[in-house]
Amino acid sequence: MNHLVSGGAGFIGSHLVDALLARGDEVLILDDLSTGSRENVENALASQRAELVEGSVCDEALVAECAECVDTCFHLASAVGVELIVRRPLESLLRNVRGADVVAAAACRLDKRLLFASTSEIYGKSNHGALREDSDRVLGPPAVARWSYSTAKAFGEAVSLGYHREQGAETVIARLFNTVGARQAGTHGMVLPRFVEQALRGDDLTVYGSGEQSRCFAHVDDTVRALIALMDTEVARGGTFNVGGSAEIKVLDLAQMVIERTGSTSGIRHVPYEEAYGEGFEEPDSRRPDTSALEALTGWAPTLGVEDAIDDVAALCLTASI
């Protein structure tokens, strides 16, 4: 098989590329390197079965050219990270909307299977137990920049499903919940790598708000297995599936876990949301996925925990500093 992975030089995308190559496939990576890096895919490129095309998913001609020579398209390219989205909401909104439209249209026109990577941000502030794929969305006002990302991803889902329902496109949607692991950068507000980097420097870990907010984290290797399983499962076409870990942990407890596993002497410093992200920022108290649909269809189950992700991030940070 030959695959197009948009955003393939990014955190999740590069791990997906590695997994596809490991099973003997070939990969064409399309990435503008705005948040990804060539370093993430150096080993993949050295295999001679992966190629990197530097460019934007908003470039219709380039996307069509790339999609023509593959069997499937994994669309992971996206403006990500709470900090990036809050600081540059217009750019994030337009890149995500245009990119989703361009890739979905090309995949449909060229009769290529498409996996659209969506996000748990779809659910907004909804926090009533485990979230099912058909759970209601509860969003704040459009003036709050965070919800523009949710809106953009919802547009991508709607477009992808529209092509499936009206034109028979082979499309599947994966909603990702807090994927963590090596190669994830803390520069755009990602909590776990930020904590690990602070702990290794001996700096106090900055916990936004009270730290009582909780999340379920999925190791990137488990997320990638789910993406490949969904692409390979024919009856998944036209469906939407949550992909995430099952163990819920408070952010404050995560900070303490990072300190313990890295052997750091760091303390914990609380920072108000307003100081970190500006007035009007909204943060859900909890967000937990119901992954029963994915499990029933593919047999997928998470095999790694947040402890494994902490160790992987710390190991890469230490290697990079040597």
CB-CB contact of 115 with 72 (8 Å): yes
Largest interatomic CA distance in the chain: 58
For 148-194, the pLDDT digits (tens) are 888 999 999 999 999 999 999 999 999 999 999 999 987 766 899 99
Q: Which of left, alpha, beta for 83 (phi over 0: left; psi -120 to 50: alpha)?
A: alpha
Residues 6+ apart with CB under 8 A from 168: none
Give residue for tokens 């709050």.
Answer: 144
Both structure tokens of 192: 């776990």
Tell me, what's the pLDDT at 86?
67
CA distances from 139 to 23, 79, 133, 172 (A): 40, 19, 16, 24
Q: Write the DSSP symbol of residue 215.
A: E
User: Residue 11 — φ and ψ, nearest 5°?
Assistant: -60, -65
Could you tell me the residue ranges of all domains in the chain?
2-181+219-246+288-303
How many DSSP H helices and E strands does the chain contain?
A: 12, 15
Please list, residue by residue across 169-206, b when 16 or more beta carbons sit within 10 angstroms of its beta carbon and e when fewer do.
bbbbbbbbbbbbbbbbbbebbbbbbbbbbbbbeeebbb
The predicted pLDDT at position 322 comes to: 41
What's the pLDDT tens digit per position in 239-250? 999 999 989 999
Give one word for 134, left, alpha or beta, with left for phi > 0 and alpha for psi -120 to 50. Answer: alpha
The one catalytic residue in 149, 163, 208, 277 is: 149
Count of residues in the chain: 322
What are the φ/ψ torsions at residue 252 (nearest 5 degrees)?
A: -65, -40
| 208 given a catalytic annotation | no
3-state secondary structure of 3: strand
May I ask the CATH architecture of the domain 2-181+219-246+288-303? 3-Layer(aba) Sandwich (3.40)
Residue-by-residue DSSP string for 73-139: EEE------HHHHHHSHHHHHHHHHHHHHHHHHHHHHTT-EEEEEEEGGGGBT--SSEEPTTPPPB-
Q: From its phi and psi, is residue 74 left (phi > 0), alpha (psi between -120 and 50) or beta?
A: beta
Low-confidence ranges of the chain (pLDDT < 70): 81-86, 188-189, 280, 321-322
Strands (E), the chain: 2-6, 26-31, 50-54, 72-75, 113-119, 130-131, 171-176, 179-180, 205-208, 214-216, 218-219, 240-243, 248-250, 268-271, 286-289
Strand partners, 28: 4, 51
Helices (H), 178-217: 191-201
> DSSP 3-state assignment of 174?
strand
Cα atoms in the Cβ-side hemisphere of radius 13 Å centred on 143: 3
